[in-house]
Every structure is written in C-alpha cells, then in structure tokens.
Amino acid sequence: MTFDTVSLVAQQVQGGGIGIGFYLIMGAAFLLSMAVSSMLKRRFAEYSQIPMRMTGAQVAEAMLHQNGIRDVQVVSVPGQLTDHYNPANKTVNLSEPVYHANSVAAAAVAAHECGHAVQHQQAYAWLGFRSAMVPLVNIASTIQGFLMMGGIGVMVTMGSPMLLWVWAAAFCVTAAFAVITLPVEFDASRRALAWMEKSGISNQMEHERAKNALFWAAMTYVVGALGAVAQAVYLLMHLFAQRQGEERQ
C-alpha cells in the first residue's frame, strides 16, 4: 500500500465517517450480485426443462455409492436453491425441485453437493478450513449486522475508531471465509462433472449444460468474495489513513 494510495483514501473520508467510496463498493457488489443471480436463475430455469433419466435424489445416491460413501443420507429440504451438504450430520440436502426432478439442472446440483461429501470423505483441506471458520464467521456476521443497523450513525457523528476497527475486523473474517469458499466450490463442481462424465449418466450436450449451470453457480461465490474483499480493504485503508493523519497532528 503506497503513501499516495492512502492519501487518496484519506481525502475521500469526511470527518469520522467511512467515506462515499465504501457505499459505492457496496452498491457495485450488490448490483453485480443481482446480475449474476439473475443469470443463474435463468440458466437453471432453462436447464430444468431438459429431461434426464434420473432424478436429483437418484443422481446423489448413485454418486455417493460409486465413491464408496455409505454413511451420508440424501434428504429433501424446502425452498429453491437451498441445496447444501452438512458435514456435521453427513446429509446431502436437496431442495424439493432438485430432489424430485429429473433434469440437467437437478442432476448438476445434486452431483455438486455430493462433491462436498466426497471432499469430506477425503479430508479435503479447504473444506476443513471452511468448516473450522464457521463459528467465527457467525460472530463476525452478527457484529456486521449490528453495526450496519445501529453503528454507522455513531461512527459518522462521533468518528469512533474503535467501532471502525471492530467492523473492519469482522469484514476481514467474512472476506477470508468467502475466499476460502472459492476452492471448495470449484473443486466440488470439478468432482461432480468428472463423475457425471465417467458414470455416463449424461451425454455430451447434457454435460456441457450441467457445466454451464455450475459455472454460474460458482460465479455467485466469486462475486461475493470480490465484494467482501473490496469492502475489507477499503475499511483497512481508511483506518490506516486516519491513523497517519492523527500521527501528523
């Protein structure tokens, strides 16, 4: 971080506030996230119309069994795009549309979540790091929510460096979690696609569409990570600029 960069950030800061740049980053991240989410929903809606011979639940069961995993249960959960793997109780949780549907989209999602189960079975390091961070991330998210609702006014009117440091630390934790999540998600998709091709449950056209669906799902994590890192960096730059300004006085 150069002195000129810090000085530029310092010029953007008014009083004890965090500067308009932070809100611009938040706005840009939100808009980009909405655009990627919209594309993801369109792709899944499109690929949900392309039939396959197996339901999402059957795909999940087959992938687990062919990887020698017998202690993971496949269950149906309410909602849409609520699919996830829970390492705590070893369950592949598939949303109702994915669990019951026999489509390319359902197969891709089911195989991806089973990719996490395979990661767990093989003690994939990045999954272990992410799981270990969950309690800390929950605390950081609570702090962020509290300060977002009630703390910004205090920071702007009173210029509280303590709250800013706490807020920046919370953003750093969530940003680190978002970055660690990336290799976990990309690897799960890689495992899913490799298994779908090897097992022969999808032809070339279906495989390419499953790959595209998982690509857009992964992009939601990429956008989230970029936004989290950008906000954390901005806050840290502001705090260091503020400290340098105080030292010159």
Positions annotated as catalytic residues are 113
Distance CA 237, CA 22 (A): 11
Type of residue at 180: I
Distance CA 127, CA 134 (A): 11
Name the phi and psi angles at 49, rounded to 5: -90, -5
Tokens, residue 12: 């953007």
Per-residue buried b or exposed e for 81-96, using 16+ beta carbons within 10 Å of the residue's own CB: eebebbbeeebbbbbe
Q: Which of 220, 238, 236 is nearest to 29 (CA)?
A: 220
Distance CA 214, CA 219 (A): 9
* Dihedral of alpha carbons 100, 106, 107, 109, sign: negative
Residue count of the chain: 249
